[in-house]
């Protein structure tokens, strides 16, 4: 097990800056995600950690040892890619044993390790199967077992579940998180899926345009995004612009109590699921009319027009509002996030 540090890493291709002054520390035994939109530099960061790319500037440390010039195979890092290339002509156990054979480990040791890993990925009994006879999820488990066989110090996962269907993705997320907790292997997961990052990681690094914008716990990333770009990337939000004076936030919807004493030109961000709706018009201070509705199973997504603006609200589907219905809205500006 190893900690990982990137210090002021720049990576360019030609004159295109791909990574810009990226610094990151992953503690020993921690699982983190690199989360961001396509093309923001997540995979490049992972490749720099794994030694597949060498940065033009900055340093990479594993357990505080400078490995910037150390080749991948000597770093003790393994990368599992999305298109997990299992060897099609080798059985499951031969695939898992491959790296150990290359290292000329003793046969009895290899057998022990393969047995242990087959148990760990809950695939006992499938040792003699070939990859083409496995499901997508099983193939992914074998790819992870093969990566773990060589007892790496760090595990680097590049969108490993993105080709799986949504149920299987859920299952694999839980599987990898449990496995990681059991083995306490330092793990970096690259994903563009917010839920995946928030659900599996101790901390999440949000990347935009080659930079890490925020690195924090999933709760803090979601509840307290550093800026509007991060907030937007994490999903649809409501923004209210206005001014705060004597703990009163005046915006398009009226005057509301807040925890901040004074601030000009602020934007308050409120999650759609934090806004309450009531059919009783005098129940909450803001009045509106349901102008749009999408049914999403256990949740319903409403657009509520209040004065000139549209407020987005997510409510559980036990409450049922029709388009055109008048409602009142409970919006808590005391606990809003202000930018």
Q: Does 44 contact ligand ATP by CB under 6 A? A: yes
Alpha helices for the chain (secondary structure H): 42-50, 72-75, 92-102, 107-120, 136-149, 166-183, 194-200, 218-223, 228-233
Q: Does 38 contact ligand ATP by CB under 6 A? A: yes
Near ligand ATP in 183-212, by CB under 6 A: 192
Please identify, using beta-carbon distances, which residue of 16 and 89 lies nearer to ligand ATP: 16
Q: Does 40 contact ligand ATP by CB under 6 A? A: yes
Q: What DSSP element (H or E) covers 330? A: strand 326-330
Please state the closest distance from residue 60 (CB atom) to ligand ATP, in A.
Answer: 15
Q: Which stretch binds ligand ATP (CB under 6 A): 40-48, 240-248, 250-258, 322-330?
A: 40-48
Q: Does 41 contact ligand ATP by CB under 6 A? A: yes
List of residues 6+ apart from 153 with CB closer than 8 A = 1, 2, 62, 63, 75, 76, 77, 185, 186
Which residue from 33, 42, 230, 312 is in contact with ligand ATP, where contact means CB under 6 A?
A: 42
Axis-axis angle for helices 92-102, 107-120 (nearest 10): 130
Q: How many CA atoms lie within 13 A of 165 on its CB side?
A: 3
Positions of E strands within 14-75: 16-26, 31-35, 57-62, 65-66
Gap between the Cα atoms of 240 and 228, Å rounded: 12
Which residue from 43, 126, 200, 258 is in contact with ligand ATP, where contact means CB under 6 A?
A: 43
Please state the closest distance from residue 44 (CB atom) to ligand ATP, in A.
Answer: 3
Please state the closest distance from residue 292 (CB atom) to ligand ATP, in A.
Answer: 31
Number of residues located near ligand ATP, criterion CB under 6 A: 11
In eight-state DSSP terms, residue 160 is T
Near ligand ATP in 251-290, by CB under 6 A: none
Q: Which residues bind ligand ATP (CB under 6 A)?
A: 13, 18, 36, 38-44, 192
């Amino acid at each position: 097990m190893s900690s990982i540090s990137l210090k002021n890493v720049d990576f360019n291709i030609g004159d295109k800056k791909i990574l810009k002054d990226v610094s990151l520390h992953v503690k020993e035994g921690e699982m983190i995600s690199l989360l961001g939109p396509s093309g923001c530099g997540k995979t490049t960061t992972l490749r720099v950690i794994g030694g597949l790319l060498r940065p033009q500037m900055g340093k990479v440390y594993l357990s505080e040892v400078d490995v910037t010039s150390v080749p991948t195979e000597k770093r003790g890092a393994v990368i599992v890619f999305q298109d997990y290339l299992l060897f099609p002509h080798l059985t499951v156990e031969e695939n898992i044993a491959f790296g150990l054979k290359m290292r000329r480990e003793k046969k009895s040791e290899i057998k022990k390790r393969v047995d242990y890993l087959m148990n760990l990925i809950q695939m006992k009994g499938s040792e003699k199967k070939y990859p083409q006879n496995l499901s997508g999820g099983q193939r992914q488990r074998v790819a992870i077992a093969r990566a773990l066989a060589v007892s790496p110090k760090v595990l680097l996962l590049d969108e490993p579940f993105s080709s799986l269907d949504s149920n299987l993705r859920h299952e694999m997320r839980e599987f990898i998180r449990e496995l990681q907790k059991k083995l306490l292997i330092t793990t970096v997961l690259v994903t563009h899926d917010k839920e995946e990052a928030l659900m599996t990681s101790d901390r999440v690094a949000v990347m935009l345009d080659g930079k890490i914008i925020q690195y924090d716990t999933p709760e803090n990333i979601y509840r307290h995004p550093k800026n509007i770009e991060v907030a937007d990337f994490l999903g649809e939000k409501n923004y209210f612009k206005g001014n705060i004076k004597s703990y009163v936030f005046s915006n398009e919807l009226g005057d509301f109590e807040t925890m901040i004493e004074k601030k000009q030109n602020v934007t308050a961000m409120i999650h759609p699921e934090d806004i309450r709706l009531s059919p009783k018009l005098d129940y909450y201070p803001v009045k509106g009319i349901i102008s749009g509705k999408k049914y999403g199973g256990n949740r319903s997504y409403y657009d509520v027009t209040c004065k000139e603006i549209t407020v987005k609200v997510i409510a559980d589907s036990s409450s049922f509002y029709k388009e055109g219905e008048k409602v009142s809205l409970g919006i808590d500006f005391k606990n809003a996030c202000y930018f």
